[in-house]
Amino acid sequence: MGDTTDSPTTGADVVAEPIHGCIERWHRHLNGELPGGLDALLHEDCVFLSPIVFTPQRGREVTKLYLRAAGGTLADVDPAADAADGAAGLTDDGPFRYVKEIRQGHHAMLEFETTIDVDGEAKYANGVDIITCDDDGMITEFKVMMRPLQAIHAVHAQMQAMLARLAGEEPPFA
């Protein structure tokens, strides 16, 4: 997907903005092509902010857990697989896709669309991943926002089950 910014940039500006390399690596990860998987993307002290959890989730390991659960819930990706192991990523015919991107400096907003199973019926969901990286292009904050409300309710139940499965226990919904 092409870069969209509020102001024109030159090639030198793009190189100086670490978010560009970060998001390129994020897309490679989603396609199952990034050596090291999420470990190569997430800062050790990354913070994950969910539309369904009040408390920020802190640290690389818990962020990986939530992102894998989201992949299993929103994108039909095997949540137990790791792209570092050569696992398959998103497919072109899957339900999840990014439709818009804005990248500038250390920040990106990636709008996504997907369908969510609600009582056996596929329902449209729309959201935004807001990603912040450090100067080295490592993700320091990953925030997810979604709509409509019915999608959030469905994702809440599905994520809770997926997180419990991945963690082997009940997830910490505070």
What domains, with CATH codes, occur in the chain? 11-167 (3.10.450.50)
Residues 6+ apart with CB under 8 A from 64: 38, 39, 42
12-66 pLDDT, tens digit per residue, is: 555 589 999 999 999 999 988 999 999 999 999 999 999 888 899 999 999 999 9
Greatest alpha-carbon span in the chain: 50
What is d(CA 169, CA 94) in angstroms, rounded to the nearest whole number?
29
pTM score, whole prediction:
0.82
What is d(CA 63, CA 55) in angstroms, rounded to the nearest whole number?
13
Q: Are 49 and 165 in contact (CB under 8 A)?
A: no
